[in-house]
Copies of this chain bind each other. A is one copy, B any other.
Amino acid sequence: MEKLLRGAAVVGQSGGPTAAINASLAGVIKGAIENKEAISVLYGMRNGIEGFLAERLCNLSEMFSTVGGDPDLEKLDLLSATPASALGSCRKKLPKTDDRDFYENLISLFRKYDIRYFFYIGGNDSMDTVAKLSKYIEGSDYEMRVVGVPKTIDNDLDGTDHTPGFGSAAKYIATVSQEIVTDCSVYTTKAVTIVEFMGRDAGWLTAASALPRLTSGLAPDYVYLPETDFSMELFFEDIEEAWKKHPNIVIAVSEGLRFADGHYVGEGTQSGATDVFGHRYLEGTGKALEIAVKEKFGCKVRSIEINLPQRCASHIRSATDISESLSCGRAAVRCAVEGQSGKMIAMLREAGEEYRILYVSKDVSDIANAVRSVPRDFINGRGNNVTDECLEYILPLIQGEIDTVYEKGMPKYLKI
């Protein structure tokens, strides 16, 4: 164990919102208040690193402590129930570590507030921030520990069994998928409903739509992921095959479906724009398939894009996910106070019948910018559905419900 580093801490949230990212924030807050001997005060940065550069900070220790100085558990629960990033977010990517001006400016701000602990909650791009910042700090004369807390509904971060936020998104997707399949089954006319879920490179969210197969059987007929090449010809064959069983077909697709030649299925309908990280901005995979099915079969067809609700549906969050997200936040504080830096908290699933998670720290440089896809053996041979093994992997992550606090019939949130 390293010597006890005393000073202030700062925490930020970055990247797209999830239903669990505030639970991780609650975990960091709880951890900080519990570690007062090291952390004098925990600041929150508004809008991630961008807001930190503008010194837009708030005092989270004060906000979430009782008069007695203990963590205010009721308030932390309400924070955990609030979707999206309560501190605000940003999509800023840090420059390379040879940009001395940028990093020395950052360090001068850390000095100003005596910040010795830096926590960053986010996905791939946020772990890149953790990696660069910790690397620069290591080579500097400023002592600060930098630890990342994983977050992404996409479940595509490397080095961890799964990511906080995925379980709640998967629970919502399984629920809405079952509702849509039920809704679509009421008529007797031939129809195709295509439901599009998020997932540019990894099909985890779309895979979750198949979960009701394990209970009611009210799952989509087919599930197509970006991990296998999409063939329009086989797709049409699949539809004809399903019509032999029932008139109403429901098909789940990932936004990032690609043909064997690498082109996106939705390419014809996309804007071609890219986001600040150079990712291609996609829309319309479901819409493109809707048009194709309409042309081929002339039947009733519609496409449904689940869109934002899948990442912020906190009203049906998974108790397992929320509890794990909180634990990841607390583990990050513990890990930093114990002397580590340049790490990300990861979850290891223990072998055996019972679902159990161990929280460990991993070198963030090994994790940043890698994508963990759905393994090929989690997808069936024809590439039109996921295997039971895949569903058994996801199932524990959606277990448990948390009573939502309602105010006049609507979920109650916390604003900070």
Binding site for B on A (CB under 8 A): 13, 17, 47, 50, 82-85, 88-91, 171, 174-176, 178-180, 182-188, 193, 211-212, 214-216, 218, 304-309, 311-316, 318, 395, 398-401, 404, 406-413, 415
Q: Which residue of B lies closest to A211 (CB)?
A: B410
A50 to B189, alpha carbons, bound, how many Å?
Answer: 12
A176 touches B309 (CB 8 A): yes
A304 and B307 in contact, given A89-B186, A182-B84 (Cβ under 8 angstroms): yes
A183 to B175, alpha carbons, bound, how many Å?
Answer: 20
A412 to B212, alpha carbons, bound, how many Å?
Answer: 10
B17 touches A410 (CB 8 A): no
A180 touches B316 (CB 8 A): no
A215 touches B410 (CB 8 A): yes
A415 to B186, alpha carbons, bound, how many Å?
Answer: 12
Closest chain B CB from A125 CB (angstroms): 14
A408 touches B84 (CB 8 A): no
Sample of 16 A–B contacts (CB below 8 Å): A17-B182, A47-B186, A83-B182, A84-B186, A88-B188, A91-B187, A175-B411, A179-B309, A179-B312, A180-B308, A216-B407, A216-B412, A304-B307, A305-B305, A309-B309, A400-B409
Question: Which of A84, A314, A410 gathers most chain B CB within 10 Å?
Answer: A410
A17 and B215 in contact, given A409-B400, A411-B178 (Cβ under 8 angstroms): no
A185 touches B84 (CB 8 A): yes
B307 touches A17 (CB 8 A): no
A179 to B415, alpha carbons, bound, how many Å?
Answer: 13
A305 to B309, alpha carbons, bound, how many Å?
Answer: 11
| Residues in chain B near residue A395, CB distance under 8 A | 408-409
B409 touches A84 (CB 8 A): no
A88 to B183, alpha carbons, bound, how many Å?
Answer: 9
A182 and B215 in contact, given A188-B50, A316-B315, A401-B406 (Cβ under 8 angstroms): no
Closest chain B CB from A174 CB (angstroms): 5
A183 touches B312 (CB 8 A): yes
B312 touches A308 (CB 8 A): no
Closest chain B CB from A206 CB (angstroms): 16
Partner of A174, one of B218, B401, B409: B409
Closest chain B CB from A361 CB (angstroms): 27
Closest chain B CB from A99 CB (angstroms): 22
With A175-B315, A218-B413, A399-B409 known, 18 other A-B pairs at CB within 8 A are A17-B183, A47-B188, A50-B188, A82-B182, A83-B182, A84-B185, A89-B187, A90-B187, A176-B309, A179-B313, A180-B308, A184-B308, A211-B410, A214-B408, A215-B412, A216-B415, A401-B404, A401-B406
